[in-house]
Every structure is written in C-alpha cells, then in structure tokens.
Structure 1
C-alpha cells in the first residue's frame, strides 16, 4: 500500500524503518471520486497513489485554466494556501477516481521535528516545483502551441489517453479545436 509514496521519498532522502513507521501511521488515505473538488483552504498536501488530480484557477469570466496535472507519483498542493492556511487561489479536482495519501499542515510540521529528513525532502520537492513553474511560464511566453504540446507529451507520458482533450487544451492555453489540428499535423 505504501510502496509508491515511500519510493517517492527515497528519490531525495533515505528513510530507515524507524523513520518510515511514524510517517505511515500519520499518513491518511482516501479515494476521491472523479470531478470532486478538494479545497477552499488547502489543509492537506496530497500524494497521488493512483489516478490524476488537476490544479487550476478560474478567472472572472468562469473560464478554468489548468496549471498542473498530478498523476501517479506526483504531489498536489496550493502551496501558498497550505503554508499560510489561507483561502486558496487554485482549485484541486480529480480528473478520474483518484487514490491519495495526505498529510495536514499541523501533522507535517510535527513530522518535520520528528524526522528532519522530511523537511529536506519537501524543500527539494518545492524547489523542483518552483523550477517546473518557471519553465512552464517561460514555455508559455516563448514557445509555439505545437512546442508546448510536445513538452506536455514528454512531461506527462500516457496521460493524454486518460484525460479529456479540453483539459489538455486548457493546460496549453489553446482551444480544443486548435489542439485537434496540432494532433492531426503530428500524427
């Protein structure tokens, strides 16, 4: 049950059995039904064990803009809301039935004290996430829609077969019709 999340931790820190046991006892687990929205204030940081979440913002006209997809082995959080326990700017929703492990802010803060390696893990994860966001912004400003689509395929292999075309188009900042045209040119 914990294999994937423990493997994810081991990408950046080596946890021994005395460290993994308290983590396993504090991790909560649930299945989220497709289309369920998860937050108003981001009270948990979620690890996707199975399925896919999306992080998006809704503009003043009600248009949704996908910022990030979180398939298996990814973490999902509105970091500003989680860190400050303030109202969320982003929304997190399930694109398919999704199984997650999650930790509340207070539990994670306590784990940082008990297992200092976790603080290192999440620091590295946040640094990597910040790098991902910077690259995404640069890509959106400097690359063509076709180049962004190719980057999407590289970053999210096989996800394209699992989620709706309108979700991918929203992520790329284009219409579903334009995405269809790009797909036809690349097939």
Structure 2
C-alpha cells in the first residue's frame, strides 16, 4: 500500500517538507481506487465526492455539448490531481465528466478527509495553496493561448509543455483539449514532417 503513495509523497515534497509521522497520517486519509480504461470516476450531474491523485495511469475531465462533442478541460497523469472542484467544494452537481484514458490507480481524498488533512497536517495547507496558485497561473496561460495563438502554435506549445504525455494520447483527444479538429492536428503533423506538404 505504501508504494502507491511514493508518487504522492514525491509530489508533496517538491513543494513542502514532510516528516515520517506526517506521511503515516497522510496515508490514513486516502482510499485507493482502480479504474479500467473508459471507466468513469465522475459523471456530470452527480456530486463530486473526492479530489483524486493519479498514482498510475491517465485521466481526462471534459464537458459534453448538446451535439455530443467532448470538450476536454484537463488531462491528469502520474503526479496530477483531478476533480470537479466546484462540485467538490460546494456540493453542487458536477458539470464535468471524468474518466480513464488508460487503466488508472487513484488515491481518493473525501471532502471530510480533505478538511481533516488541512487541520491535522498543517504543512498540507501550504501544499494545496501552492497547487491552487499553479493551477490558476496555468488556466490563465491556457486562456491567453486559446485567444492569441493559431492552431500550429497551440499544438507546438502542447508538445513542448507535455512531451511525454503527447505520446500516450490519441490525436482526437489532443485536438479536443486544444479546441481543434482531429483533421487540423493531422494537417499540422503532416506539415511538421514535410514543410512543403
């Protein structure tokens, strides 16, 4: 069981120090869940009961429009958190679907245990604050990119920011995340291989 937490502890310790006692206490707040590829963690309309840390695998959160098209909000892989955070914090119905792109192992933190971990392991308050700051900065950058970059630039920035993850994602999912069509991504990739194409 403790092996499952190695990635979590490494992630936390990049931002704040942890004692062995704090690690033991942190383990007690989580429960483990395994998902098969395409299995849902959360469906829109349900209340999000957990924030989830990806120990192994790959997840996506997304909105589905009235035409049935997915609009991907976030990818989460080893070392990332995923949730419909508004639903988790306020108890509203989730607007996001979250499912597994690959077979995935998650560490789940309930709302009650989230509050307890902040109170009982004070360094975790700082850890989550750093996460939220980083998340806000990333969302700002993504919004600016969506409004100022052309398709080629968006794709190039994605590959630069996430070189390893781009190899694990089908082209249509990358396209959805970037707000592009799969055909556009195909055209960009062909042009990257042969600039005269």
Same-fold call, TM cutoff 0.5: yes
What residue number does 1:60 align with?
66
How do 1:81-120 residues align onto structure 2 when only pairs under 5 Å count? Answer: 81-120=87-126
Deviation at 1:115, TM superposition (A): 0.8
Give me the whole-angstrom Cα distance separating, in 2, the residues matched to 1:61 and 1:82: 27
Structure 2, gaps ≥5 residues long: none
Give me the whole-angstrom Cα distance separating, in 2, the residues matched to 1:159 and 1:113: 34
Give me the whole-angstrom Cα distance separating, in 1, the residues matched to 2:63 and 2:17: 35
Which residue among 30, 34, 39 is the counterpart of 1:31?
Answer: 34
**Residue 133 in structure 1 maps to residue 130 in structure 2:** no
Which residue among 63, 70, 77 is the counterpart of 1:71?
Answer: 77
Give me the whole-angstrom Cα distance separating, in 2, the residues matched to 1:74 and 1:186: 30
Structure 1 stretches of 4+ moved >3 Å: none
Deviations 1:34-72 (A, max 9, x none): 111211221111111111001111112221101111111
Deviation at 1:162, TM superposition (A): 1.5
The alignment partner of 1:101 has SS state of strand
What residue number does 2:149 align with?
143
Q: State which drifts further: 153-162 or 167-176.
A: 153-162
Deviation at 1:103, TM superposition (A): 0.5
What residue number does 2:189 align with?
183
Deviation at 1:145, TM superposition (A): 0.9
Which one has the largest radius of gyration? 2
Cα RMSD of the aligned pairs, angstroms, is 1.1
Structure 1, gaps ≥5 residues long: none
